[in-house]
Amino acid sequence: MTKGELVLREEIVWRCRELNASGVNQGTSGNISGRLENRMLISPSAIPYGDLTPELIASMPLDGDGAWEGPAKPSSEWRMHYALLRARPDAQAVVHAHPAFCTALAIAGKEIPACHYMIAAFGGNSVRCAGYATFGTQDLSDLALQALTDRTACLLANHGMLALGDSLAKAMWRTVELEALARQYYLSLQLGGPVLLSKAQIDETLARFAGYGLRSEPAAPTATVRGATREAPVKKARGEAS
């Protein structure tokens, strides 16, 4: 195993723990993948994050037929991750989770409109909600891919959300930001509904983000998640785009 592979395997492990420690996910309903050359490394199915080790991360060729290697089988949602990494060269990592507010909106079949300028962090003036299909199926994967056209995140009807990034750090940052946005939109609905931003206003935000470095990477995880021997967090992710 190369050093690069070990680093990615380790990151998938501590990002899974971070997903739950941050309150964005619960149980083992979330799953995380990363691209390593022509392979996908993905969190395994039904193993509590506390028991995860780098060796338990499954490996699948991206040009294969779903065959995988590892002591544990890949997440039951591997098809979504696999299809995304194949279809989207801009994606180096994919995060799937069931955050409460994203999922509440997805249960109601609502997309997130341009209610806040941070919508632009997901590529446009909305975050779509993919239609419903049974978890783990090719149908769900196809619907998700469609909802992600020109976007870097989507909701999944009666299920949860998906986010991608040009790094695992970015995909995680988008996951946390999407849940914050979903919560803000939900709260605005209690107040009579949001005043939406125009396409021109979102286009202006997109241009500013491009110049700002939405590319720059967000913070390292908290020391408690990553382990006491690792370096402490650097700064808050939200500041990257504010």
- Catalytic residue positions? 77
Q: What is the rounded CA–CA span in Å between residue 163 and residue 121?
A: 11
Q: Which helix (H) or strand (E) element contains residue 106?
A: helix 100-107
Using CB under 5 A as the criterion, what x/- string covers residues 123-162 for binding Zn ion?
-------------------------------------x--
Instruction: Annotate 115-168 with DSSP letters as a single string.
Output: SSGGGGGGTSS-B-EEPP--TTSHHHHHHHHHHTTT-SEEEETTTEEEEEESSH
Using CB under 5 A as the criterion, what x/- string covers residues 155-174 for binding Zn ion?
-----x--------------
Q: Where do we find the tokens 């999407």?
A: 178
> Quick check: 137 and 79 in contact, CB under 8 A?
yes
Using CB under 5 A as the criterion, what x/- string covers residues 8-47 for binding Zn ion?
----------------------------------------
What number of chain residues touch Zn ion (CB under 5 A)?
1
Q: Where do we find the tokens 């946005």?
A: 181
- Least distance (Å) from Zn ion to the CB of residue 162? 9
> Quick check: 98 and 25 in contact, CB under 8 A?
yes
Buried b (16+ CB within 10 A) or exposed e, 26-59: eebbbbbbbbbeebbbbbbbebebeebebebbbb
Residue with Cβ nearer Zn ion (26 or 216):
26
Which single residue brings its beta carbon nearest to Zn ion? 160
- Least distance (Å) from Zn ion to the CB of residue 161? 9
Residue with Cβ nearer Zn ion (160 or 165):
160
DSSP lists the bridge partners of residue 96 as: 31, 162
- Least distance (Å) from Zn ion to the CB of residue 142? 16
Residue with Cβ nearer Zn ion (105 or 202):
105
> Quick check: 136 and 79 in contact, CB under 8 A?
yes
Residue with Cβ nearer Zn ion (80 or 112):
80
Q: Which two tokens stand for residue 170?
A: 């970015």
Residue with Cβ nearer Zn ion (17 or 81):
81
- Least distance (Å) from Zn ion to the CB of residue 51? 19
- Least distance (Å) from Zn ion to the CB of residue 77? 6
Residues that bind Zn ion (CB under 5 A): 160
